[in-house]
Structure 1
Amino acid sequence: MNVLCATRRLHSSRLSFRALQKQRRSRTKNKNENPSFGTTPLKKEEIKLINKLFLSRTSGLEPDLEIKELADIEKDYNERYLKRIIWPSKRWYEHDWKDRSTKILGMERFSKNLINGAKPNFNKRNEGITFHTQELLESPLKVGDIVLLKSNATELSMCVALPESADDPRYTFATIKGNLLFSTRSSINLRIPYSIPNGIANLITREIPHGFNPIGVIKSSINETFILPTVTRQHITSLKPFTVSHIAWEELPLTIKKLEVLHRFLQNPLGWYQIPFFQLVHLVDTIDMSSCNDRKYMKTLIDNSKNDSYNNLDASRCLSTYWAIIEQQETNMWGDIQRNSCSMSPISVTVNPLKAYQHFNDYLVCGTKQKDLDKIGQVTRLMNEKNYTIIKEKYPEFMSMLKDYASGNLNQNSQVAVLISAFLRKLNYYKDMDVSKTVCYKLLQEIDPTQFFDNILLFNHDLNLSNSSNLGQSNKQLYALCGPQISADADRVDFGNLRVYCIDSETAHEIDDGISIINKGNGIYSLSIHIADPSILFSGASEIQGPLNDDVFKLAMEKSFTTYLPDIVEPLLPNTYSEAADLGKNGQVTNAMTFTVNVKTLPDETLHVLYDTFDIKLSKIRNFPKVTYSRVNKILQSSDYSNPSVKQDLEDLHKIARALRNNRMKNGGAVVFGEGFNKGMIEFFEEGQAEVKNVKFIDQEETPATLLVSELMILTNTLCGWFFKKNNIPGIYRSYNKLLLGSKATMEYMSLQSSTKSGVSPSIKDMTRVSSLMNSSVYTSKPRMHEMIGAQQYLTVTSPLRRFPDLLNHFQIHRFLKKLPFVFNDEKLQNLIWHIQSRADILKKMSRAINTYWTLEYLQKAIFENPNKRFDVMITSVPNNGVVNCLFPDMSFARGKLKLKKGMPYPVIGDTVTNCRIVKLESLDGILYLEA
C-alpha cells in the first residue's frame, strides 16, 4: 500500500524517476543498522514499464486536474497578478488620476513599487479628519465621502461611485479591505464629508476581460464586473476610513465613560427629550473628567454648549460617540438616534430619564436572572393559567415593558427583545410568533383589556405628546395657564376695508394667512399677503432682550411645529395665543404682518415680479369675506356669482397664480408633482355608535383654490428669502440641493424637469422611478437655493402659528423694522437648526408610521373579510435575492416587500405586478410581505 501511495505521489507531482537519487542516510552510532534499507536506482526500461502498465491503470482514480511544473505555476501566477492587479492599477493611475501635482510622490507614471510601497504625500497617514457640520446639510453625498453603513457597522467605508440610472439607484461603497458594496442612501448611518485628491475621475473601473476568471463584483449584469484597483484602495479609499475607525475604537472606552457622566446631568426626570447629536459630540470633546463631579462645572459646560460653535468636529470623535450611544442603548440610557435623510447622518439622540435606566436594570435585567423564580417564569405560568389579575398587580413593570415596546420606545434595545422572545417561547398560544410591536400590544390587551388604545404609537416618547410622559403633562399645564401679552404697536398701517381672503379648509385649526389684490391698471396688480403676527404676544417681544426668557416661547422652540397626525393635532402655541392672532374674524381689527409686491401680467399670460416694489409692513386688517377651498372653487367655476367684485378678485388671483407656477417651472427648474402623487391619505369617519375609528382614503387633488394659495405663499417665502439676504438679516431658510448622480441618472432627472417645463406633470410611475434620485429639503441658516421649488432663496414666514422657524423669522423682521438688535445671530441660528430639523424629521417619521399603521389595519380587515383578495403593486427597488420593495399605487402608505415567482422575469422600478397575495402583515411594525 505504501508503495502504491508513493508511486501515485510521484505521478501526481510529475517528478521524473531520473531525478530520484539514492536516499542518503546520516551516520549513526547504531552499528547494527540494516544494510538492506537502501534502494537501487530504477532502470529506464523499468520506469517506462511502470508508466505504461501501472500508472496508466490508476490514473482514473485521481481528480482530473492539470498538473504543472513549478516554473509554469509561477509564470501563470505572475501573468494573473499582472493582468488582474498591475494593469488595472496602471490604467487607473495614468488615465483616471489626471492631476500630477496631487499624485503619490508626484510620480506621473505608474510603478509597481506604488503597491505595498510608496506612501501618499497629500495627507498625513496617521491623522484623522475634521469637518464642518454645515456641509452635511448643504452638500449632497459625493464620491470620497466616508460613511458608516448598516451592513458594515463596525468600520467606515468610502463612497466610490454614484448611481448610474433610475433603474438602479444604488451607490457603490468600498470597505477598508476593498470589498465593493451596492446600496441606497438609506443604508448610511453616518456620513463624514471628505475630499479625495484633485484630478481623480473615477475610483472604480469596469473589469476588462483578461483571459482569467474575473475578480470583480457584479452590480446589475452578470456580463459586467467592477473592480477597485489595488493602488486605489491602498492610497485613497482605505487610508482615511481605516485611520478614523482605528482612532474611534481606541477612544471608545473613554467615550462610554464620558457619556455615562453626561447622561446624569442631561437627563430630565420628568420625561424624554432630544439633544442634537453634534452638541453631544461637542460635550464629549470638551468635558474635563477631573471636574465631572462638580455640579456647577457640569451645568456651565452644558449651558455653554447650547451657544458654543460646534461646527468643526473631529470625525473619530463623532464615530466613537455614535458607537458608544449604540452600546448604551442596551442599558436604556439613550433612546432612538434620529437620522436625517439629507445629511445621511445622526441629527439628534433621545435622552431617557434616569428612572427609565434604573427601572430597566433593576426590574427587567437583574430581576430576570434569579434562579428558578425569575420573573419571566412566574409571568409565563400566570399567563398560561390566564391569571391576569395577579400579573397586573405584581408585575406592573412587565406591563410597562410591553406597552413601551408596542409604542416603539424599546426597538433599539436587543436585551428587551431577548426577554420578550424568551417569554413568548413559553406561552402556548404565542410560542411560534416573532417578537413585534403588534404581538406585544396583543399580549398587553389580553392581560388588561382596559389597555386598549386606538393608536398606541401616540405613546412614543419621541413625539413628546401631552399623554406620553410627565414632561408632556407639565407642558400642557403650562400652556393652559399662560395667556398672551399683547404689545402695542402705534406704527401699524391700517388697511381699512380692503378685502382679505383667508382661504382654508372648513376644519382648519389655525388660520394664519390671507390674500388681497388691487388692480392698478395696465396689467399691474398689487398683491398683499397678510400673515398672522403672534410675535407681539410674548413677554419681552418689544424689548431689547427679546422673548428668550418667555416660557411659552421656549416651549414653542422645543416643540418647533404643530403636530399633525391623522388622529390627533397638538398645536405649536397655546389656544389662547392662536385665538388672539388668528385671521378671518370678519369685522374684528386684527394685527398682521403684510408682505406687498407688484406684479405685471403680459398678454402672453407670462408675468414679471417687480422685486423693487416688495415691502413689509406691520398692519391692521378687518374685512374677511367668508371663503374656503370648496367655496373658492365654486366661485371660480360659476359663470354667475352674486358678488362680482369678489369673483373678479379671485379670478385675477388665480390667473396670477397660474403664471407664477409657469415661471417656476420654466425659469426656475421647479418640479411639480402630478395627479396621483398623494393618493390614499387617511381620513376618519364616524359610523353608528362604534368606538373603533373607521378609516377611509382620500386623494389629495390640486384644485384652482389650492393652486392659488400655494403659489402666493411660495412667492411670499421666495421674496422674503431675497429680502433677508439683501439686508443681511439672520434667518432660517429652507433649501434643496440636487443629488450628485451619474451621467445617465442626471439625464433622466433632467428629462423629468423638461417634461414639467412643457406642462406635462409627472405620473406616479415617473415619480416612483426617480424618487430614489431625489433629495430632501432641509432647514439652514444660509441663503441657499431651493431647487425643487425653483427659488434662489426660500425663507418661510407664512405659517407662524404652526412652524417655529416662521415665528422666529417674524421676530427678526420686527427687530429689523424697529431697528432693534436681532433676537438670534448667525451662530445661535446654526446651533438651533439641528434641533428644528430633528423635530421636523421626528414628526415626519412618526406621521409616516402612524399613517402606515392605519393603512395596514384597513388591509388587515380587508383580507380577514376576503382571504383570497389580491392586489396590484408597483416596484420601487432593484431585486435582491428574488425580493423587491413595492407600494400600492392607490395607498401612499402601503409599502412592503414582494417575493417574486421563481423563474419570472425581474421587473424594473416603476413596473406593476398584478394579482399579489398578502402573506404577512404587522400593522404597528409597518411590516407588509406579499407574494406574486
Structure 2
Amino acid sequence: MTPEELLEKAGSTDYLKLKEEHEKISYMRYKKPNQYWLSKLLGVSKPVNYKDGSDAELIETKKMVRKKLETIHGSVRNTVELESLSGDHLNVGDVVDLSSDFERSGLAVIAKLPDSIVDARYTLINQYGEIEFVSRYQTGVRIPNVFPKGWFEHSILEESQFVDPDSGLASIGKPYYKLEDKIGKDKLFDSAMSKATVNLGDSNVKTYIVPSLLAEIISKELTGIINKAWDILPMMNLKLEVLHNILQCNESPIVLSFRQLYEAAKITDLEELAKGLTSKKEDTINKTYEKLLRKLQKTVSVSNQFNSVTLGKPIIGSVERFYKTTIQEYYAFIMSVRKNDQIFHHQSSENSPSYVTVVPLNRIVQFNKMVKHFKENPIEYEMMSIYVNKLLATNSETLTSVDVNKDQFDEPEYYPVLIDALKLYTADSFHDGVLESFLMKIVRSLKPYKNIDITRTGIYELLLNLKEITPTEDPSKWWYDAMLPGSGLSSKADMEQELYDRITPQNLSTYVDMEHDIQKDREVYNDVIYCIDSENPLEIDDGISIKRLEDKKYLVSSFIADPSSYLTPDSVISEIAFERGSTLYLPELSDMRAITMLPKVFADEIQMGYTDKPSRVLRVSFTVDLKNGVIEPLPDNNDIGFGIAHKFVRVDYGSVNEILSESIESNKILCSISDTTKIDSTKLKNDLKDLYNVSEFMATSAIKNGRSDMSNSLRFGREIEEITADNNNRIKLEFKEVEKKFQSKTQEGEQTQSERLVSEIMVQSNHIAAQFLSRNNIPGLFKYFEELPVSESVKSAIHHLKSKTSINSEDNIKDNSSFKDALLLREFMTRSAFSVEPARHAMLNLDSYATVTSPLRRFTDMINHWQLHSFKSHGQPMFKKSNMAYMVAQLTAKNEILSRIQRKTDGSYTFKALKQLQEEQKNNGSKTAVSFKCIVNRNPTDDGEVSVILMDYGVRGVLRTSWYALGKGITDEKLDGEGKMKQKKLLSDIEVGDIIENAIIEDVDLLDGSIVLTSELV
C-alpha cells in the first residue's frame, strides 16, 4: 500500500487519537515536571502553566524562565579567580570536566550533593542536558561557582511522580543503579543496561529526570563555554608551542606550577613576537625569545633554562592573588595543554591540576627520529627483534648481567633509544600514540610477548630480562615529573645532587656561611631538651622540654633546629631546597636512602641531639594547666623565640616506651642516659612521665572539643615500616609492631605512648606558631583542611559516625567506629592545602595551623621560620602575601609529585614482595597460590572493577571481578543474558567494608601504585 493510500485510509479519528496520545505523553514527560519545578522556583503552591504551543512561544518561555532564575538566584558567572581553582571541594553550581583527553569535551554542572553516606555520588547535568551520577574521584577539572546554587533547587525529579504507572510508557529518566557508571563509557552501552534492567523487572531501580526547560538552558550555557573555548584554542596552541621553546631545557624536564604556565600564556603576545620569530636571522629569533623570557622571569618568576642550566628554583616570586580570567579562556587553556601533552606532561584528570612538566625537546626529537627511521627502513624492525630475542635467550641462561656479553651481537643503532623509551613508558612519562604503537610493534615481535597482554608491568619485566635495569630499581625514577637524581632523565637534578655531595664537614663553610645569623641577639636556653625519635633517624630537627610551674601546671616548650638562620632566600642551596620541597624518603634497597631537601652534611652539623653541643633553635612555648583544663601561649609574644640550646637528651621511641611502662629494662636505660648526659635519672624519668601525662591530656581535650581523628580506624593490620632486599634481591617487608603495654590510651593499637607524646606537643607547637603569625599580621604558609559541602542528611550521618569515638570516665578514648565507618567518612574528606592567611584546620579543629617543627625536611617550615626571624629581628615579615602565594603554588605542586612518587614506590615494592610469595609457593609444588584478604573501600563501578585495600598490608588495590572479565571477553562464552545479569547482580551486592577472601595478585598499576587482584568469589 502506497503512502497516499495509507493517508487516504487513515481517518480523522486516528489522527486525533495520535495527537491526543502525543499530548498526553508530552504532558507526563515534559510539561508536568516543568510545571512542578516552576511552581517551586516561583514559590507558589499550584503548577505553573507556560506557553509552548509553537517554537516561538517556547523560545519566549525559555527567556522568561532564565530571567526569573537570574532575578531570584543570580546570573551565570563568566569569570573565575585562579586562586579559587585549587582544592577538590565540589559544590552545587560548580562546573566539572568529565573528560580527561583532548578528543572530547565533557562539561557538566553539579546539580545536587550526595544524599547518603553510603553513596558518595553527585548528581550532575551534562552539556547535553542529561543526568549523570558521579563520585568525586571521577570528576576532572573543576571550575567553581559558575552557576548560582539556587538554579538547581528541586531540579532533580523522580520520574515516577509524573508518569502514570498504568500508561505503559518506557522510562526516559536516568536509572540510579547501585553500581557507578564508568565515565567515558559509550552511551549506547548505558542505554542497553537500562533496557536490561527493565526487562528483568527490577522495579527497585528509580529513574530521575531534569525539567526540560532547565536542561536546555544548562545545555546552552555549557556548550557555549565549549564552543568559545574551541574558538580560542588555535591561538592558545600557538602560545604553548612558543612557550615550550623557551621554558624547556634539553638537560632536564622542568616542573612549573599550573598557574605559572597559564599566566605565561596570558602575557604572551603573539602579534608582538611575530616579526622576530618569522625572521630568517637566527640571532633575531634568539633575541625575540630572550626578550619574552625576561618578561616571564619578571612576571611569573620562571627560571632561565633557555640558554643555561639553572640549579634550583627562584624563591622570590610574586603572583597576583585575586587574578581573574574568563571561564572560556581557562577551559581553552585546559584543552590546549591536553592537545600538547607530548610537550607538557600533566595529570589531566585532577580536579585542580597543580603543575605541568615541560618535556625536553631533544627527547621528543630523538624518539621521532627513531620512529621515522624504522618507518623508512622496515627491515630495522626485524633486526631489532633478532637482537633483542638473542639477548633474552642469552640472559635466560645466565645468572648475572656480568655473564652477558652484548658484544657478541651487533647492537642496532637505536637500541639505547628504544630502552630509554621503554623505561619512560613504564613510568607513564609520555602520551604519544605513534610512539606507543611503535613500541608495541617491537615488543609483539619478541617470542615471549607474542600472545600475552602487554602492560607496563610486562615492559618493566622485559627490561629486567634484558638486564637493562636491576631488580630493585623502581619505575617511578623514570617518571618525568619526579626529576630524581640518578634517573638518567635530568642532568639538572644530577648537578644539584653533585653539589650536595661535594659538601664535606671540612669544606662546609665554603658553601654555607656558618657565621651568618639573622638573629643578632640570642638567648641561651638551659632547658633539658628531649630529642625523641627512631633509633636511626636521618636527621633530628626537634626536641621538647617541660617545667613544673605549680601543682598540675606546666611550661611546655618545643625546640626546633634553625637552618633558615644560616641561609638567605637567594642562595643556591635555598633554591635547590625550594625546588625539592621536602625530603623524599625511599626504601632502604634503593640507590639512596633519601633525597634530602638540604645537604646532608649541613643538616648533620646543625641538627639537635648532640650532648653539650650548642645549637641554634626556635623555641615555641605554652602552658598546660591540667587542673583547670587550659592550654595557653605565653603572653607578650614570648611564645616564640630564637636562641641557643645545649642540654640535649637523645633517646629513641622504644626506650621512652620502656621508661613510661616502668619495664624491667627501664632502669638500665635511664642509667645509660644519665651516664651520657650527666642528668639525674630521677629527673629524666619524672620529666618523661610529666610529658606523657600532658600529651594525653592534650589529646583527650582535643577529641572532646571536636577533633576528628579517623586515622586510627583507617589503619589496620600491620603497617609496613621498612622495605629492604636480601643478597638475592628478594624484597623484604618489615612491619611495625606495637606491644599492648606501649600503646597510647588515646590512639590504641596505632601510636605508642612515646609517639603520641611527641606528636601532640608538635601539633600544639604548630598551632601556637600559627596564632603568633596571625596575631601579628604576618603572612605565613598556613595549613588548612576545609570541610566538604554536604547535604543535611549526609551531615547528620557524618556526625553520627564521628560520635562513635567517645571518652569514658577514665579519660580513655574508646573507638567504636568500624573500618567501614572510616571508609565511608573518607569519601567526604578533602585534602589539606596551604593558604597565605589563617584558615581553619577542620580535621584538627583548630582555627589556624602553620608547620614550623620540621625545617630540615620541609621547606614550608623554613619559610615560616624566615617570616618569624624577620619579625622578631626587624618588626616586619621578609615576604609579602603575593610572594607567599607564589610559594604556595610551587610547593603545592611539589607536594603532589612527592606523594605520587611515594605511592608508586610503596605499591611497586609491595607488589614485588607479595608476588614473590606467590611464586615461591608455586615453585614449591603447591597447587594453591598464596591468597590475600582485601576490604572494599569504594562502591564497585559497572565495568567490574572494585577499589580495595589489602588487609595486613594497608596498600591500595583494584579487584577485577568476573564482570570485568566478561566485559573484556575472557569469560565463559556460554553465559546467556540471564547468566550475565546474575554476574552483574553479584557485583552490585558488594558494599564498602565487605571483606573479600582469597584474592590473588595479578599485576601492579605502575601509574599509581595500585595492586591488581582477582578472586574466584566475585
TM range (shorter): 0.7 to 0.9
1:484 equivalent to 2:512? Answer: yes
1:395 equivalent to 2:450? Answer: no
1:710 equivalent to 2:740? Answer: no
1:409 equivalent to 2:429? Answer: yes
CA deviation digits over 1:343-367, x for unaligned, max 9?
A: x211110111221222122223x22
Tell me: CA distance 1:894–1:504, structure 2 relative to 1, closer, same or farther (3 Å).
same
1:372 equivalent to 2:394? Answer: no
Tell me: CA distance 1:527–1:127, structure 2 relative to 1, closer, same or farther (3 Å).
closer
User: What is the rounded CA distance, in whole Å, between the counterparts of 1:460 and 1:681 in structure 2?
Assistant: 27
1:595 equivalent to 2:620? Answer: yes
Stretch moving more, 808-817 or 225-234: 225-234
Match for residue 252 of structure 1?
233
By how many angstroms is 1:99 displaced?
A: 11
By how many angstroms is 1:481 displaced?
A: 4.3
CA deviation digits over 1:660-693, x for unaligned, max 9?
A: 1122222144324225616544444667633444
Cα pair 2:247 2:358 within 8 Å, conserved: yes
Match for residue 252 of structure 2?
271
User: What is the rounded CA distance, in whole Å, between the counterparts of 2:349 and 2:682 in structure 1?
Assistant: 52
1:648 to 673, 686, 696: 686
Match for residue 459 of structure 1?
478
User: What is the rounded CA distance, in whole Å, between the counterparts of 2:645 and 2:170 in structure 1?
Assistant: 79
- 1:285-304 equivalences under 5 Å are 285-292=266-273, 293=277, 294-303=288-297, 304=299
User: What is the rounded CA distance, in whole Å, between the counterparts of 2:795 and 2:4 in structure 1?
Assistant: 62
Cα pair 1:678 1:892 within 8 Å, conserved: yes
By how many angstroms is 1:730 displaced?
A: 0.7
Match for residue 305 of structure 1?
300
Stretch moving more, 179-188 or 711-720: 179-188
Tell me: CA distance 1:687–1:298, structure 2 relative to 1, closer, same or farther (3 Å).
closer
Cα pair 1:128 1:316 within 8 Å, conserved: no
By how many angstroms is 1:240 displaced?
A: 3.2
Match for residue 57 of structure 1?
none
1:737 equivalent to 2:786? Answer: yes
User: What is the rounded CA distance, in whole Å, between the counterparts of 2:818 and 2:93 in structure 1?
Assistant: 34
- Given the two structures, how large is their TM-score scaled by the length of structure 1? 0.86
Cα pair 2:530 2:650 within 8 Å, conserved: yes
Cα pair 2:485 2:497 within 8 Å, conserved: yes
Tell me: CA distance 1:248–1:590, structure 2 relative to 1, closer, same or farther (3 Å).
same
Match for residue 523 of structure 1?
552
Unaligned runs of 5+ in 2: 179-203, 278-287, 302-317, 393-405, 504-510, 671-680, 739-749, 808-812, 922-927, 964-982
Match for residue 184 of structure 2?
none
Identity score, percent? 23
Tell me: CA distance 1:459–1:578, structure 2 relative to 1, closer, same or farther (3 Å).
same
Tell me: CA distance 1:382–1:176, structure 2 relative to 1, closer, same or farther (3 Å).
same
Match for residue 318 of structure 1?
330
User: What is the rounded CA distance, in whole Å, between the counterparts of 2:421 and 2:94 in structure 1?
Assistant: 40
1:695 to 733, 736, 741: 733
User: What is the rounded CA distance, in whole Å, between the counterparts of 2:553 and 2:387 in structure 1?
Assistant: 79
Match for residue 949 of structure 2?
887
Cα pair 1:587 1:622 within 8 Å, conserved: yes
2:448 to 425, 429, 435: 429
By how many angstroms is 1:484 displaced?
A: 2.3
Q: Secondary structure at the match of 1:625?
A: strand
Query: One-letter code of the match for 2:207?
Result: T
User: What is the rounded CA distance, in whole Å, between the counterparts of 2:327 and 2:347 in structure 1?
Assistant: 17
Cα pair 2:718 2:953 within 8 Å, conserved: yes
User: What is the rounded CA distance, in whole Å, between the counterparts of 2:800 and 2:753 in structure 1?
Assistant: 27
CA deviation digits over 1:233-277, x for unaligned, max 9?
A: 223x33432222111111111111110000011012220121111
Match for residue 362 of structure 1?
369
Cα pair 1:600 1:610 within 8 Å, conserved: no
CA deviation digits over 1:266-292, x for unaligned, max 9?
A: 012220121111221112122111333
2:22 to 48, 65, 77: 77
Q: Secondary structure at the match of 2:609?
A: coil
Tell me: CA distance 1:98–1:844, structure 2 relative to 1, closer, same or farther (3 Å).
farther
Tell me: CA distance 1:356–1:618, structure 2 relative to 1, closer, same or farther (3 Å).
same
- 1:790-809 equivalences under 5 Å are 790-809=845-864
Tell me: CA distance 1:635–1:907, structure 2 relative to 1, closer, same or farther (3 Å).
farther
2:264 to 262, 283, 298: 283
Match for residue 163 of structure 2?
210
User: What is the rounded CA distance, in whole Å, between the counterparts of 1:97 and 1:169 in structure 2?
Assistant: 30
Tell me: CA distance 1:730–1:757, structure 2 relative to 1, closer, same or farther (3 Å).
farther
1:853 to 881, 892, 908: 908
Query: One-letter code of the match for 1:345?
Result: S
Tell me: CA distance 1:855–1:919, structure 2 relative to 1, closer, same or farther (3 Å).
closer
Cα pair 2:621 2:634 within 8 Å, conserved: no
User: What is the rounded CA distance, in whole Å, between the counterparts of 1:824 and 1:228 in structure 2?
Assistant: 50
Query: One-letter code of the match for 2:363?
Result: A
By how many angstroms is 1:797 displaced?
A: 0.6
Q: What is the aligned-residue RMSD (CA, Å)?
A: 3.0
User: What is the rounded CA distance, in whole Å, between the counterparts of 1:88 and 1:699 in structure 2?
Assistant: 60
Q: Secondary structure at the match of 1:873?
A: strand
Cα pair 1:167 1:908 within 8 Å, conserved: no
- Given the two structures, how large is their TM-score scaled by the length of structure 2? 0.79
Tell me: CA distance 1:396–1:165, structure 2 relative to 1, closer, same or farther (3 Å).
same
By how many angstroms is 1:424 displaced?
A: 2.9
Stretch moving more, 786-795 or 574-583: 574-583
By how many angstroms is 1:842 displaced?
A: 0.9
1:816 to 871, 885, 888: 871
User: What is the rounded CA distance, in whole Å, between the counterparts of 1:820 and 1:278 in structure 2?
Assistant: 32
Q: Secondary structure at the match of 2:941?
A: coil
2:934 to 854, 869, 873: 873
Match for residue 585 of structure 2?
564
Stretch moving more, 161-170 or 108-117: 108-117
Tell me: CA distance 1:687–1:535, structure 2 relative to 1, closer, same or farther (3 Å).
closer
By how many angstroms is 1:151 displaced?
A: 7.1
Tell me: CA distance 1:578–1:116, structure 2 relative to 1, closer, same or farther (3 Å).
same
1:242 to 223, 239, 254: 223
User: What is the rounded CA distance, in whole Å, between the counterparts of 1:445 and 1:213 in structure 2?
Assistant: 57
1:183 equivalent to 2:188? Answer: no
CA deviation digits over 1:452-501, x for unaligned, max 9?
A: 553232232322221122111111122234632132444111112x2100
By how many angstroms is 1:760 displaced?
A: 3.4
Match for residue 621 of structure 1?
645
Cα pair 1:528 1:596 within 8 Å, conserved: yes
Stretch moving more, 838-847 or 818-827: 818-827
User: What is the rounded CA distance, in whole Å, between the counterparts of 2:735 and 2:120 in structure 1?
Assistant: 30
Unaligned runs of 5+ in 1: 20-67, 101-106, 539-546
Q: Secondary structure at the match of 1:164?
A: coil
By how many angstroms is 1:163 displaced?
A: 1.7
Cα pair 2:100 2:349 within 8 Å, conserved: no
User: What is the rounded CA distance, in whole Å, between the counterparts of 2:8 and 2:911 in structure 1?
Assistant: 69
Stretch moving more, 91-100 or 752-761: 91-100
CA deviation digits over 1:419-471, x for unaligned, max 9?
A: 22222333332022333221222222333456655323223232222112211
Match for residue 327 of structure 1?
339
- 1:750-769 equivalences under 5 Å are 750-758=799-807, 759-761=813-815, 762-769=817-824
Match for residue 491 of structure 2?
470
User: What is the rounded CA distance, in whole Å, between the counterparts of 1:405 and 1:681 in structure 2?
Assistant: 31
Cα pair 1:918 1:930 within 8 Å, conserved: yes
Match for residue 544 of structure 1?
none
Query: One-letter code of the match for 1:281?
Result: Y
Q: Which has the larger radius of gyration?
A: 1
Cα pair 1:421 1:434 within 8 Å, conserved: no
Cα pair 1:682 1:697 within 8 Å, conserved: yes
Match for residue 782 of structure 1?
837
CA deviation digits over 1:534-561, x for unaligned, max 9?
A: 11111xxxxxxxx232111111111111
CA deviation digits over 1:557-604, x for unaligned, max 9?
A: 11111112334311110113212320100110111010111121127x
1:501 equivalent to 2:530? Answer: yes
CA deviation digits over 1:797-845, x for unaligned, max 9?
A: 1111111010000000000001155332101111221110111111111
